[in-house]
Structure 1
Amino acid sequence: MALSGTVDLSRAPATDRLRPVRLWLYAVAALIVLMVVVGGATRLTESGLSITEWKPVTGTLPPLGEAAWQAEFEKYQQIPQYQQINRGMSLDEFRTIFWWEWGHRLLGRLIGFVFLLPFLYFLWRGLVTGPLRWKLGGLFLLGGLQGAVGWWMVASGLVGRVDVSQYRLATHLTLACVILAATVAVADGLRPAGARPAAPRLSAPALGVWLAWALFVAVLLQIFLGGLVAGLDAGLTYTTWPLMDGHFIPPAENLLVQQPAWRNLFENVLTVQFNHRMMAYTVLALVVANWLALRGSAASGRATWLVGLVTAQALLGILTLIHQVPIDIALAHQFGATLVLIAATVHLRRMRVGG
């Protein structure tokens, strides 16, 4: 018998039983979106290297008192970013960038607690069993890995360079988005059977599933490329659209100027930005093809939403570029990427199960 004032979840109707788990996962997903946006702000304000140590437990508290603030500032003064770029920064200016990075790390810790404590509770109540238990356990492990990858990224900027490695930044961002997509997919899979629409009436269902997969992969790849653009500050160069330095497709000798050639994909500012532009066109083409393939089906509404979201995201990308990355538009663009990813994830999962 349930305790007074509580709901006996074990006796809830089958269609309702996993609703608390589903809502919890949606809340976790919302926090991950916030984490991605705050991470973008940390990057844009050049705050990511202000905390030079990884203290998973004691780092929860900010500096308490002037002596503690001065000690943190002195640690920052030892790294190349301060010595080569921010020399002469005041303590108050340091506090500003410190709070961004501290807030970003605190939010990561908060997500860990918001995930772990309800997870343990749902295990205790018997709501999480079988494959769902392993899926949620895997999500928790991915979250821990993301924290380690975050420090691995920060560590790349503490010695020998004034910012973090674009390779590690793109990896950190992409892993966050993989965790977001996985969380949304698990949550969407817990909808009661009555909430699931009938299978789409497609003449070629395989085409719709293939396009959904292609779109999902392309969106993730585009996010990775966006991380490279951010890591190289590539959005501050070639700030015209649709041409880059007078060309829609720059000359091959400029795109492949570095040797070996593969380095251009990750280190050549022109090539990195060009690839990000071309992938944007690819994503737009895929959502239009997806919309055409699903007209008249139960999935046509999702396909229409995807076209709208991707179009808005492309416009935000263009505005971010031509205005040379103002923080408000840039963060809206980063937020838009998470919305597109969520929509693509839900679309793919429902196409795979015929919904």
Structure 2
Amino acid sequence: MLQASTLPTRLRPRTLSNWLFIVAALVVAMVVIGGITRLTESGLSITQWKPISGIIPPLTGAQWQAEFDNYKKIPEYQQLNRGMTMAGFQAIFFWEYIHRLLGRVVGAAYLLPLLAFWAAGRIPRGYAPRLFALVALVCFQGAIGWWMVSSGLAKRTDVSHVRLAVHLVTALTLLAGTVWTALDLRDLAANRLANPARLRAFAGAALLLLFAQIMFGAFTAGLDAGYAFSSWPLMGDEIFPAATPLTDPLWRNAVDNPVAVQFIHRWLAFVAAAGIVWLGTKAIRAGAPRIGWAVIALVGFQIILGIATLLSGVEIVIAVAHQANAALTLIAATAAAHAVSRRTA
């Protein structure tokens, strides 16, 4: 390990940390826009993947008509939106276009500064592979996004909820990895002998519970399962509706049955909350009280937003706030996990 006196002065770990926090904010924005795209059923409005030329939106009447004609060929239009006006199409096109554009911005915000830092020799030893892995994950996320969209262009009237879950979980994995790396670099800036944190088992377990809950949130959104029952704490008049048709094999209900998925998402929330609150208390005891209390507060707020989303019949503003707060909760939980996993020199 390099000693403090021999660490090259050209290294700027705090600058890199600040850059990564900015990129993390962009990822949160993309998650929020993705939620709006799903809730407004805008995700299939752009039926082609053009990573470069797609940056430029339709500018003329003919270009808009060509995009609309492409949309008219898919089942969503033919079965659900037949007769949609050009104005209606432009409204849903807007959200999908912004979502894809922001994806490109995130990619550029990762790659271009990273190349500049790398060329200038400003990346501390051991961090370049991790940073380039995050960039690769951004690129992979773009491919996953198209894989998701393509599932709704031929036979379905929506995208696969499983692919939607993969897309969201990958985005949040990117977010957590970015925040963790930024925190490692922040520690290195404060102490040139600091080692990268190693995730402790109990902290990893708490984060896995949170990721499982987020995955079921994606299933809930993709299946429109939030509309199945808008009562709380019961689903109608029962804990679990006895008349719910179940599929065979039984395990598939946890993935494909909207009623079962909503049930799991409702109650797994409290298991995940217990794990994250426990992590928050550990962070407080480890000397990070602000992070610990923040994660506890965000978990409580997340449960309130989840219940409000159900009771409101999935009102879009509340539902988007629920998804945005999930991303903030993940950031806080990642920071708490980092705080309890720090290693001294």
Normalising to structure 1: TM-score of the pair?
A: 0.88
Match for residue 48 of structure 2? 53
Instruction: Note if contact 1:287-1:303 (Cα within 8 Å) is conserved in structure 2.
Output: no
Secondary structure in structure 2 of the residue aligned to 1:64: coil
What's the CA shift for 1:65?
Answer: 0.5
Distance 2:172 2:326 in 1: 9
Taking the aligned partners of 1:339 and 1:320, their CA distance within structure 2 comes to: 17
Among candidates 293, 296, 311, match of residue 307 of structure 1: 296
- Aligned counterparts of 2:202 and 2:164: Cα–Cα separation in 1: 29
- Pick the aligned partner of 1:83 from 78, 84, 103: 78
Match of 1:340 among 325, 329, 341: 329
Matched residue, 1:221: 212
Q: 6, 28, 43: which one pairs with 1:33?
A: 28
- 1:205 counterpart residue number: none
Give the whole-Å Cα distance in 1 for the aligned partners of 2:60 and 2:46: 17
Q: Does 1:248 align with 2:243?
A: no
Give the aligned partner of residue 140 of structure 1.
135
Which residue identity does 2:125 align to in structure 1?
G
In 2, Cα distance between equivalents of 1:339 and 1:184: 11
Shift in Å at residue 125 of structure 1?
Answer: 1.2
Aligned to 2:305: 316
Distance 2:241 2:203 in 1: 31
SS in 2 for 1:259: coil
Displacement after TM superposition at 1:68 (Å): 0.7
Contact 1:166-1:232 within 8 A present in 2 as well: yes
Q: Give 1:1-355 correspondences, 5 Å limit.
A: 11=9, 17-192=12-187, 195=190, 209-251=200-242, 254=244, 257-291=246-280, 296-354=285-343
User: 1:36 deviation in Å?
Assistant: 0.3
Q: 1:24 to 1:96 in 2, by over 3 A?
A: same
Q: Which runs of 4+ in 1 moved over 3 A?
A: 192-196, 208-211, 287-297
User: Do the aligned partners of residues 143 and 288 (structure 1) sit closer, same or farther apart at CA in structure 2, a change above 3 Å counting?
Assistant: closer
8 Å Cα contact 1:123-1:129 kept in structure 2? no
TM-superposed deviation, 1:289: 3.4
Task: Kindly state the Cα deviation for residue 182 of structure 1 after the two structures are TM-superposed.
Answer: 0.3
Matched residue type, 2:153: L
Q: Distance in 2 between matches of 1:260 and 1:241?
A: 28
RMSD: 2.1
Distance (Å, rounded) in 1 between the aligned partners of 2:125 and 2:74 = 49
Stretches of structure 2 that go unaligned for 5 or more consecutive residues are: 1-7, 192-198
Using a 3 Å threshold, how does the CA distance of structure 1 residues 109 and 154 change in structure 2: closer, same or farther? same
Q: Distance in 2 between matches of 1:43 and 1:120?
A: 33
Q: Which moved more, 1:301-310 or 1:129-138?
A: 301-310
Looking at structure 1, the residues matched to 115 and 281 of structure 2 have their Cα atoms a distance apart, in angstroms, of 44
User: Cα distance, 1:195 vs. partner?
Assistant: 4.8
| SS of aligned partner of 2:322 | helix
TM-score relative to the length of structure 2: 0.91
Give the whole-Å Cα distance in 1 for the aligned partners of 2:282 and 2:333.
Answer: 15
Residue 132 of structure 2 aligns to which amino acid in structure 1? G
Q: Deviations over 1:45-103 (max 9, x none)?
A: 11100000011111111112101100110000000000111100111111111111111
Matched residue type, 1:304 = W
Q: 1-side partners of 2:62 and 2:74: how far apart? A: 20
1:241 aligned counterpart, secondary structure: coil
Asked if 2 retains the 8 angstrom alpha-carbon contact of 1:149 and 1:172, the reply is yes
* Cα shift at 1:292: 5.3
- Kindly indicate whether the alpha-carbon contact (under 8 Å) linking 2:75 and 2:155 is maintained by their aligned counterparts in 1: yes
% same residue: 45
Cα distance in 1 between the residues matched to 2:283 and 2:108: 40
The size of the alignment, in residue pairs, is 331
The residue type paired with residue 185 of structure 2 is L
Q: SS at 2:231's partner residue? A: coil
Residue 193 of structure 1 deviates from its aligned partner by 5.0
**SS in structure 2 opposite 1:141?**
helix
Q: Distance in 2 between matches of 1:295 and 1:130?
A: 31
Gap regions ≥5 residues in structure 1: 1-9, 197-207
Q: CA deviation at 1:242?
A: 0.8
Question: How far apart, in 1, do the equivalents of 2:279 and 2:119 lie?
Answer: 42
Match of 2:5 in 1: none
